[in-house]
Structures are given as C-alpha cells and as structure tokens.
Amino acid sequence: MTQRAITYGVFDFLHLGHVRLFANIKHCILNDTGSLIVALHADACIKSTKPDAHVLYPQAQRAEMLGAIKYIDDVVIYDFIDTDLPNRDFDILVVGPDQVNEHFQRAINWCHAHKKTVVVMPRTKNISSTEIKNKIAKELKL
C-alpha cells in the first residue's frame, strides 16, 4: 500500500538539514514509493506566538522553494499542528527530536490514539536556520 508521510516546520533559510530530512523520509520511510506532505508554519501564527522570531522568507516564498524539492509531493500551510493534523490524510507523522512543545505532544498523542505511525528523525548535526542567521549577523556585524 502506498503510504503518505507528513512533517511540520518553519523551513526558513532552507538548508542541508532540511533537504536531508526530506530525502530520508522519501528513501528510508516511504521506500521511494509513497508521498511526502510538508506543512509550513504560517507567517501570522509565527508572529503571534513568537514575536521575536525573525523569519526571512514569507510563507508564499517558503512554500514555492519547498515545492521545487523533488522529494516533496505537496506543501500545505498550518497554524498549530494539533488542530491541523486531524484534518490531513496521512499514515506517518515525522517529527524532529526538537519538536516537543505542547502542540506537538498533543499531535503525537492524537496519532497514538488513531493508530498513526510516529517517527522521530534525527537532526543533521551543526546546522540550523538560527545558526545561519547568527553567522550572517556576526559576519556583517549587524
């Protein structure tokens, strides 16, 4: 049976850690046969929940860049994972080890209650959007 995986995130400053996450889901979890949905955190929701966060690319641009990645079959926008997830057609939720806030906890509990598979994918070491932003700020002495 063809499976559908879904994963959630901001995916600002697209980097190798993100691309490897998508490649690993497609190759290792979906065996190159299923489809991958990437859910992108909405600008308005980020602004209201993390007013100090600096997101470089607006959601339409983040969505367009993700849509160009060959491992991704569909891109959707979300506000909160726990209210979004029950409305999606999927079999496997993939989360990062860093995705542990109360919304992710509730979404993971929902998956367990509804017989959906949850996979925790290890992060690629030594890279993150925040680290890239900090490096640029330091280099440019901002």
- List residues binding ligand CTP (CB under 6 A): 7, 9-11, 17-18, 21, 96, 98-99, 123-124, 127-130
DSSP string covering the chain: ---EEEEEE---S--HHHHHHHHHIIIIISTTTSEEEEEEE-HHHHHHH-TT----S-HHHHHHHHHTSTT-SEEEEES-HHHHGGGS--SEEEE-TT--SHHHHHHHHHHHHTT-EEEEPPPPTT--HHHHHHHHHHHTT-
Q: Output 1 or 6, the one with its CB closest to ligand CTP.
A: 6
Q: How far is the CB of 107 from ligand CTP (least distance, A)?
A: 13
Residue with nearest beta carbon to ligand CTP: 96
How many residues are listed for the chain in this entry? 142
Distance of closest approach, residue 122 Cβ to ligand CTP, in angstroms: 7
Cβ-based nearer residue to ligand CTP, 1 or 73? 73
Residue 34 or 38 with smaller CB distance to ligand CTP = 38
Q: Which is nearer to ligand CTP, 1 or 51 (CB)?
A: 51
Least CB distance to ligand CTP at residue 98 (A): 5
Look up residue 134 and give its amino acid.
N
To ligand CTP, the closest distance from the beta carbon of 112 in angstroms equals 19
